[in-house]
Chain A
């Protein structure tokens, strides 16, 4: 049996806070505390928690934007924090990210095609134009939309562009950090459906991070509930929705139902 696609092994991340008094050592905030999980190819994992629960820090560690203080993130069996700079850059094609803010995740001064092609240029891929057109088509946009600038699109369309950029390298893992939170409900449903399509058609594994338990429940096989940096509950989505074991999960369930 080969290594799982993604294994997060006991990661902990602490931040030093600004010093409060001159002679006292600065307080330490534990943003993520000893979180572990395994994600197989093609599976979806939802990470639910409120602001400050550490879910975005977890995403940043999976993306190797920052290294854990303890524990390790293993992607296809390799500890991504032990890769050299060049090897990490090559490895990044295999795990990509979609961000929360559809207005902030695209450089306003670059055309859509330029932004989508960015990861391809890094890997010196061939047939860039064809692959841009293909990615735009996969997210339901037209090839000629590539010539436009981000401000010419609505929030939902921009999120489609961001998704096109994330899948253009044909990654095995997509990390979506609050990817639908900033969208209107009707548009949010379109993007969720698109993510489900891509996930099933391309065999993508996904780490889907959201504060909204209902959104996570509709797209994820497994769910990890975080609070103050701790993992309070982890298991099958259906099981957790039907029989939450932790009070906190229960309160999130109450809050997200009509």
Chain B
């Protein structure tokens, strides 16, 4: 349905996204994970045609086969809301605090769909019911500050659904929410994707959230998609050293406790810090922090190696001729 073909986003010398390619099938749920500054939000903005003016975009962004990479704002606006819609991390910031949530949701129905007020109201109530907002008719008259964070995110989802988009881009939709509420929002997004046959791109730093919400996953680091494949498979048998490190660094609930020496077990760490965009190595972006680095990593960009089961990882160690092939580490 939507496809990014070797899309790069450059701010001067710095590449926020380096030749990223993605396919989003109709009704499919794709997760994008990575740490801050890895380019995952920029990727979301590419899908919406909302890349900042200061950036230079190259490559192809195809929506239903049509390349929109160089398209004007006017062209993109015809597609936003109808074909692709987006929700954000901070639901309070995305709602006008001075207008009733009903008016906010009805506005696109009145403007874009040309409905009468009564029709728009009925549609808004139906949408609120669909996203699980209790007593929708009463909610229409409330202001954003009168409802909880989880309910606000539901309102934003309802707003995103007003024009029946084929793709919903959710950028960190659960990060600002408490764990239980976040779970409910994820369940809602999955259900909406299934019942409406709507594609979902779920962007998050939270591996647990992505694991629940998606079927396929793309792991990003330093503007590159470093690994991708079926979500369960990538998370249970990661092949890229970064994915392996990320999973190891995550405190799990498994057997932590203490080792034989009475000291607490330490977490696996990735040394160093996420480097700033303008200070990335030219070859593999992960070189310099990678524990299995070999000679060509810093200078040569690894190609994506296709592995079993539709998994792909961009790492020199996965090349057929590479010394000491990676992947044994789990």
- The interface of chain A, by Cβ under 8 A from chain B, is 50-51, 154, 156-157, 184-190, 192-193, 196, 200, 211-215, 217-219, 238, 241, 251-258
Set of chain A residues within 8 Å of B253, measured between Cβ atoms? 213-214, 217, 241, 253, 256-257
Set of chain B residues within 8 Å of A185, measured between Cβ atoms? 35, 205, 207, 246, 249-250
B66 at the interface (CB under 8 A from A): no
Set of chain A residues within 8 Å of B273, measured between Cβ atoms? 154, 156-157, 187
Set of chain A residues within 8 Å of B179, measured between Cβ atoms? 50, 211-213, 251-252, 255-256
A256 touches B208 (CB 8 A): yes
Least CB separation from B274: chain A residue: A184
User: Complex formed: what's the CA distance from A213 to B211 in Å?
Assistant: 18
Q: Which among B56-64, B154-162, B259-267 touches the partner chain? A: B259-267
B173: min CB distance to chain A, Å: 15
Known A211-B179, A218-B256: A196·B266 in contact at CB below 8 Å: yes
A189 touches B178 (CB 8 A): no
B251 touches A215 (CB 8 A): yes
The residue that A257 contacts in the complex, of B208, B235, B265, with Cβ under 8 A, is B208
B26 at the interface (CB under 8 A from A): no
User: Complex formed: what's the CA distance from A41 to B153 in Å?
Assistant: 44
B252 at the interface (CB under 8 A from A): yes
Known A192-B267, A193-B269, A219-B264: A186·B245 in contact at CB below 8 Å: yes
B207 touches A238 (CB 8 A): no
A189 touches B267 (CB 8 A): yes
Residues 19-33 of B at the A interface (beta carbon under 8 Å): none
B65 at the interface (CB under 8 A from A): no
User: Complex formed: what's the CA distance from A218 to B273 in Å?
Assistant: 22
Set of chain A residues within 8 Å of B182, measured between Cβ atoms? 255
B180 at the interface (CB under 8 A from A): yes
Give the bracket for the number of chain B residues in contact with chain A: 20 to 34
Contact with A along B169-192 (1 / 0, CB 8 A): 000000000111011000000000
B267 touches A258 (CB 8 A): no
Set of chain A residues within 8 Å of B251, measured between Cβ atoms? 189, 192, 212, 214-215, 217-219
B36 at the interface (CB under 8 A from A): yes
B270 at the interface (CB under 8 A from A): yes
Set of chain A residues within 8 Å of B264, measured between Cβ atoms? 196, 200, 218-219
User: Complex formed: what's the CA distance from A36 to B182 in Å?
Assistant: 30
The residue that B274 contacts in the complex, of A187, A196, A256, with Cβ under 8 A, is A187
Specify which of A190, A200, A241 lies most central, judged by the most chain B CB atoms within 10 Å of its CB.
A190
Least CB separation from A53: chain B residue: B178
The residue that B252 contacts in the complex, of A51, A188, A211, A214, with Cβ under 8 A, is A214
Counting from the closest, the 4 A-B pairs by CB-CB distance are A255-B179, A189-B249, A50-B178, A184-B35
User: Complex formed: what's the CA distance from A52 to B179 in Å?
Assistant: 13
A54: min CB distance to chain B, Å: 14
Set of chain B residues within 8 Å of A219, measured between Cβ atoms? 251, 264
B268 at the interface (CB under 8 A from A): yes
Q: Give 6 pairs: A residue, B residue, CB < 8 Å, sorted on A.
A: A186-B270, A189-B270, A217-B251, A218-B264, A256-B208, A258-B235
Set of chain B residues within 8 Å of A156, measured between Cβ atoms? 273
Set of chain B residues within 8 Å of A255, measured between Cβ atoms? 179-180, 182-183, 208
B320 at the interface (CB under 8 A from A): no
B178 touches A211 (CB 8 A): yes
B324 at the interface (CB under 8 A from A): no
Specify which of B211, B246, B264, B265 lies most central, judged by the most chain A CB atoms within 10 Å of its CB.
B264
Least CB separation from B178: chain A residue: A50
User: Complex formed: what's the CA distance from A215 to B267 in Å?
Assistant: 11
Set of chain A residues within 8 Å of B235, measured between Cβ atoms? 258
New A-B pairs, 8, CB < 8 Å, besides A154-B273, A186-B274, A189-B268: A184-B35, A187-B274, A193-B269, A200-B263, A211-B178, A213-B179, A213-B253, A214-B250
B295: min CB distance to chain A, Å: 24
B37: min CB distance to chain A, Å: 9
B257 at the interface (CB under 8 A from A): yes
Set of chain B residues within 8 Å of A189, measured between Cβ atoms? 248-251, 267-270
B35 touches A258 (CB 8 A): no
User: Complex formed: what's the CA distance from A196 to B180 in Å?
Assistant: 28
A254 touches B183 (CB 8 A): yes
User: Complex formed: what's the CA distance from A257 to B266 in Å?
Assistant: 18
User: Complex formed: what's the CA distance from A82 to B104 in Å?
Assistant: 53
Least CB separation from B179: chain A residue: A255
Known A193-B269, A196-B266: A188·B249 in contact at CB below 8 Å: yes
The residue that B267 contacts in the complex, of A154, A193, A211, A252, with Cβ under 8 A, is A193
A257: min CB distance to chain B, Å: 6
Known A185-B246, A189-B267, A192-B267: A217·B256 in contact at CB below 8 Å: yes
User: Complex formed: what's the CA distance from A47 to B298 in Å?
Assistant: 43
A196: min CB distance to chain B, Å: 5
Least CB separation from B208: chain A residue: A258
User: Complex formed: what's the CA distance from A213 to B208 in Å?
Assistant: 13
B170: min CB distance to chain A, Å: 18
A218 touches B267 (CB 8 A): yes
User: Complex formed: what's the CA distance from A123 to B35 in Å?
Assistant: 40
